Amino acid sequence: MTAINPAYSARPTPEQARAELVSTLNAIEDKLNVPRKVSRAVARGRVAAAKLQKDNPAAFIGGIAAVAAVAGTAVWGIVRAIAVR
């Protein structure tokens, strides 16, 4: 008489296997879906900015000024590099 292999006796049912597959595929999609990640990050940023604007308006305005300064410097650098050519 042959012994039953314990690895085969603990097989999941087809429904359990499908559910596990769906879960795994959803997790992979969440990790690889860049547009969804970007939209979630933008939403978190908006919430954080709104909270900062409400809690500390001076810091919010300072942050906007800093971003504007960095953007202006970047544009100036690009225009200067093009003009020098």
Number of domains in the chain: 1
Q: Give, in degrees to the nearest 5, the angle at Cα 18 between 13 and 23.
A: 125
- Please indicate, yes or no, if residue 22 is contained in any of the structural domains: yes
- Please indicate, yes or no, if residue 51 is contained in any of the structural domains: yes
Domain containing 80: what range? 13-84
- Please indicate, yes or no, if residue 8 is contained in any of the structural domains: no
- Please indicate, yes or no, if residue 78 is contained in any of the structural domains: yes
- Please indicate, yes or no, if residue 75 is contained in any of the structural domains: yes
CA distance 82 to 51: 40
Q: What is the reported pLDDT for 6?
A: 58
- Please indicate, yes or no, if residue 80 is contained in any of the structural domains: yes
Residue burial 46-72, b: 16+ Cβ < 10 Å; e: rest? eeeeeeeeeeeeeebeeeeeeeeeeee
- Please indicate, yes or no, if residue 58 is contained in any of the structural domains: yes
Walk along the chain (85 residues) in steps of 10 and give the mean pLDDT of each run.
60 91 93 91 96 96 97 97 90
